[in-house]
Amino acid sequence: TYTKMATVSLGFNIDSPRWDQSTFVGRLKHFLNITDPRTVLVPEEELDRAKALVEGCRAGLVPPGSSQEQLLYAKKLYDSAFHPDSGEKMNLIGRMSFQVPGGMAITGCMLQFYRTVPAVVFWQWVNQSFNAFVNYTNRNAASPISLRQIGVAYVTATGAALATAVGLNLYTKRAPPLLARWVPFAAVAAANCVNIPMMRQQEIINGITVTDENNNELGHSRRAAVKGIAQVVLSRITMAAPGMIILPVIMEQLEKFTFMQRIRVLHGPLQVLLCGGFLLFMVPAACALFPQR
């Protein structure tokens, strides 16, 4: 069922980036492609076929009649659903392509239900559970982490988020209403500063593999691990910042209108949709801040 590659351009390399990864714009185009939330609806069987096609193409073999566009689409599905290091299929919740649907629902609810302590506790716990899935799924596969370390990271990050959220929630009771709306972002930022380093602590302890431009292994570096993890923390905070900082300002102004006061039941769904609008751009933009290698 396979034949030597003949229907694609000479010298085509399926692993060669379509856009210049040394520039922000090139990386942004790359991540707009692989974080496309529509890929979460692709059936498992089609993802497996995409993987087989990519692996066949790497070996110099493709099914007869395959076009370059089909190969590029298969690579898009492969990059969206399979771990770049191990090649294993990632759980749906942890994929970056799930960041928009998952993140918009959770962030919208955090921004809507910020007034009472029980609501703050519940939604911060949900958010940290989601983050734990994402961070574990996207970990460096060359640095295994034990279940105990995962548990400690999860509990510590959840504790940091809850302490920040509940503490600031109580502190801002007498502050301007807008400050209270910004509490969820402060909690998310604090938790990211704890969750990601804890979840990837093995990389800091043992270092990560450093290679040259030809993928020749040069050794292990703890400094590179610290730099990489710090960039991940910054990118995750950046991903959440516009929606969680600008949207409360928008809602604060909208809620002054009479028609908005009549449809309070729709405020939550509205914030979820607006969060989705922010995340559609911010997920790829935040991932594109730094080179991935």
pTM over 0.95: no
Residue 8: what pLDDT? 57
Q: What pLDDT, on a 0 to 100 scale, did the predictor assign at position 141?
A: 66
- Can you give the pLDDT at residue 3? 44
User: HSE-up of 94 (CA within 13 Å, CB side)?
Assistant: 15
Query: Rounded distance, CA 50 to CA 72, Å?
Result: 10
What pLDDT, on a 0 to 100 scale, did the predictor assign at position 25?
Answer: 95
pLDDT at position 257: 86
Per-residue pLDDT for the chain (293 aa), expressed as one digit of tens each? 444 444 555 567 788 888 998 899 999 999 999 889 999 999 999 999 999 888 888 887 777 777 888 888 999 999 889 988 778 888 888 888 898 899 899 988 888 887 788 888 898 889 888 888 887 787 766 666 777 877 888 888 888 888 888 888 777 777 787 888 888 888 888 888 887 888 788 888 888 889 888 888 899 999 999 999 999 999 989 998 998 899 989 988 888 888 888 888 888 888 899 999 999 999 899 999 998 87
Rounded CA separation 181/172 (Å): 9
Residue 2's pLDDT is 44
8 A C-beta contact, residue 219 and residue 185: no
pLDDT of residue 192: 84
What are the CA-CA distances from residue 268 to residues 260, 272, 281 (Å)? 12, 6, 21
